[in-house]
């Protein structure tokens, strides 16, 4: 009897407090409903699973009405939420947002809503306003329900967010997304990549270790690929004299590339935009291209002939972005300027002789990208040192979620959350990957128009 009385007094207290609030909200019906359900035990039938299904339905009905894509339940987020929610303090929604952001770095935007109610049905109604106003850019959700201390009410946490796809050139091509998720292959730091689609080439730099780990560029059709994949393995059908030296072959190929690739700037592009990239075959067929097109053409051909060659991207003097080719042959390092005058074998372009104005930031061959191991370190002209350069294979990029280092919020069993809704929308979390600009080389670069039959030209003649 004592227990019964105590229970009733607690219920009366809750009913009074809730009733005042509910009266204000015009939701007295909720309390009578709860009372009936409590008496009949109907709440048992309306399970938390049902509640979650109904909540998702309400959210998505509203979204269908607003003609925005529906939200999907994120199993990963749901699992995390189920493990964390029992101990979470609901007072501070900012803290909850921060916890979710740390545990789920893949989320670009987050919207968190907590609510409490005497019954699950009442709880569902508490979310009513929120379910009508989720942002169009949101993609996934997860929710968790628990009984409050004492067991007379329920509390729920709803997380709606914009879950990012893993970065890849294909995703960049096939979606209009401007933010992606990525994990730095150097330091494993998970982060968000923001891209500017006005640019045709862009470098991804880790916001933690500041090292570049991928560079992508778009072709004329707007299809992005990792820059090393512009080296497709193409070599023109040339015939080389058998009695010529390797240096002679190097110069022959170099001469042929210049003479068959008229230096041009892409027309019709804004000054700040970089141009579409071409493969070797495209450059050969068009007979024109700019610095990276001719460098790719030259490098691909050299690689096909077994040379140790890389395309270098970086700065040339004060002229801004540029591309050139470096070759290592018989312990000598050559720097081949694919857009300039005809090579002179009597005056070979050794890096030590011609390289002073060239400052590379990135190099690549067919399979890998080579990035500076220490960003910002002054350039001393070493193109092949494994201390200066770190090799990255862009296709090995995997998204790996960092193990959750989050300390679960220690619950205070005496803490009861407010009965009403608390909703908060986090700001976007932009870890911006800066751009790598690749402008054309010197404006007065000469135009080569002399036709040359491949493989027959003798360099310097």
Residues that bind Zn ion (CB under 5 A): 184, 186-187, 189, 206, 208-209
User: Measured from the CB atom, is 27 or 189 closer to Zn ion?
Assistant: 189
Residue whose tokens read 């770095």: 105
- 234 vs 435, which CB is nearer to Zn ion? 435
| 163, 401 contact by CB (below 8 A) | no
- Shortest CB 284 distance to Zn ion, Å: 38
CA distance 137 to 72: 13
For the chain, count helices (H), then strands (E). 12, 18
- Give the C-alpha separation, 418 to 155, whole Å: 9
Nearer to Zn ion, 157 or 371 (CB): 371
21 vs 189, which CB is nearer to Zn ion? 189
Find the helix or strand (DSSP H, E) in which 122 lies. Answer: helix 120-126
288 or 433, CB closer to Zn ion? Answer: 433
- Choose between 433 and 438: whose C-beta lies nearer to Zn ion: 433
Give the other-Cβ count within 10 Å of 149's Cβ: 15
Q: Which of 371, 363, 396, 323 is nearest to 206 (CA)?
A: 371
Whole-number minimum distance, CB 263 to Zn ion, in Å? Answer: 36
Picking from 346, 345, 290, 292, the residue whose alpha carbon sits closest to that of residue 314 is 292
Total Cβ atoms within 10 A of residue 301: 24
Query: In this complex, which beta carbon is closest to Zn ion, that of residue 130 or of residue 180?
Result: 180
- Give the tokens for residue 287: 């007979």
Residue 205 CB, nearest distance to Zn ion (Å)? 8
- Residue 430: CB minimum distance to Zn ion, A: 17
Complex with Zn ion: residue 195 or 255, whichever CB lies closer: 195
- Residues paired with 163 in a beta bridge: 107
Helix (H, G, I), strand (E, B) or coil at 229: helix
- Closest-CA residue to 201 (of 181, 229, 227): 227
Tallying the residues shown for the chain, one arrives at 461
Measured from the CB of residue 374, what is the shortest distance to Zn ion in angstroms? Answer: 13
Rounded least distance, CB 186 to Zn ion, Å: 4
Structural contact between residues 397 and 360, judged by C-beta atoms closer than 8 angstroms: no
Of 228, 241, 249, 193, nearest to 312 (Cα)? 228
- C-alpha angle 381-383-386 in degrees, rounded to nearest 5: 120
d(CA 45, CA 103): 33
Question: CA-to-CA distance for 242 and 335, rounded, in angstroms?
Answer: 24
- Specify the residue, 183 or 278, whose C-beta has the smaller distance to Zn ion: 183
β-pairing, 262-263 vs 288-289, is parallel
Report d(CA 331, CA 246) in Å as an integer.
13
Q: How far is the CB of 189 from Zn ion (least distance, A)?
A: 5
Minimum CB–partner distance for residue 404 and Zn ion (Å) = 19
Residues 6+ apart with CB under 8 A from 127: 55, 58, 113, 115, 156, 158, 421
CB of 193: closest distance to Zn ion in angstroms? 12
For the CB of residue 403, give the shortest distance to Zn ion in the complex, in Å: 17
Closest approach, Cβ 209 to Zn ion, in A, equals 3
- The least distance separating Zn ion from the CB of residue 377, rounded to whole angstroms, comes to 16
Which DSSP string do the residues of 420-440 spell out, in sequence order? S-EEEEPPP---PPPP-----
Residue placing its CB nearer to Zn ion in the complex, 187 or 350: 187
Output 142 or 206, the one with its CB closest to Zn ion.
Answer: 206
Compare residues 105 and 289 and give the one whose CB is closer to Zn ion: 105
Using alpha carbons, select from 74, 2, 7 the residue that is nearest to residue 39: 7
Nearest CA among 144, 185, 179, 143 for reference residue 163: 179
């Amino acid at each position: 009897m004592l227990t019964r009385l105590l229970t009733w007094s607690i219920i009366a207290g809750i009913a009074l407090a809730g009733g005042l609030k509910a009266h204000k909200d015009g939701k007295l019906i909720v309390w009578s409903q709860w009372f009936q359900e409590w008496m009949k035990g109907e709440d048992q039938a309306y399970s938390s699973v049902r509640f979650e299904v109904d909540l998702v339905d309400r959210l998505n009905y509203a979204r269908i009405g607003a003609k925005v894509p529906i939200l999907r339940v994120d199993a990963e987020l749901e699992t995390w939420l189920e493990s964390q929610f029992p101990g979470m303090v609901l007072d501070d929604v900012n803290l909850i947002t921060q916890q979710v952001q740390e545990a789920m770095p893949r989320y670009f935007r987050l919207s968190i809503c907590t609510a409490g109610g005497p019954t699950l049905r009442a709880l569902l109604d508490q979310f009513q306003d929120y379910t009508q106003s989720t942002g169009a850019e949101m993609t996934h959700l997860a929710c968790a329900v628990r009984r409050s201390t004492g067991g007379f009410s329920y509390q729920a946490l709803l997380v709606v967010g914009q879950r990012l796809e893993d970065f890849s050139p294909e995703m960049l091509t096939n979606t209009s997304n401007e933010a992606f998720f990525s994990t730095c292959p150097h330091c494993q730091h998970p982060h968000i990549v923001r891209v500017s689609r006005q640019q045709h080439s862009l470098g991804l730099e880790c916001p933690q270790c500041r090292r570049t780990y991928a560079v992508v560029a778009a072709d004329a059709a707007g299809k992005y690929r990792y820059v090393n994949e512009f080296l497709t393995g193409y070599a023109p059908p040339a015939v080389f004299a058998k009695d010529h030296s390797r240096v002679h072959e190097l110069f022959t190929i170099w001469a042929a590339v210049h003479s068959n690739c008229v230096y041009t700037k892409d027309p019709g592009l804004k000054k700040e935009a970089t141009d579409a990239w071409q493969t070797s075959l495209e450059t050969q067929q068009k007979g024109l291209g700019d610095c990276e097109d001719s460098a790719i053409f030259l490098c691909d051909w050299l690689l096909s002939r077994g040379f140790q060659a890389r395309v270098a991207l970086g700065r040339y003097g004060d002229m801004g972005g540029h591309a050139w080719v470096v070759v290592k042959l018989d312990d000598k390092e050559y720097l081949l300027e694919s857009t300039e005058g005809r090579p002179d074998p009597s005056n070979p372009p050794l890096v030590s002789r011609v390289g002073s104005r060239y400052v590379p930031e990135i190099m690549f061959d067919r399979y890998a990208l080579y990035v500076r191991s220490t960003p910002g370190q002054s350039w001393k002209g070493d193109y092949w040192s494994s201390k200066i350069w770190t090799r990255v294979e862009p296709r090995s990029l995997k998204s790996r979620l960092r193990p959750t280092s989050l300390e679960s919020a220690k619950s205070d069993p005496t803490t009861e959350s407010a009965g009403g809704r608390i909703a908060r929308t986090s700001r976007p979390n932009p870890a911006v990957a800066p751009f790598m600009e690749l402008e054309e080389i010197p404006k007065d670069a000469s135009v080569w128009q002399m036709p040359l039959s491949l493989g027959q030209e003798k360099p310097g003649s």
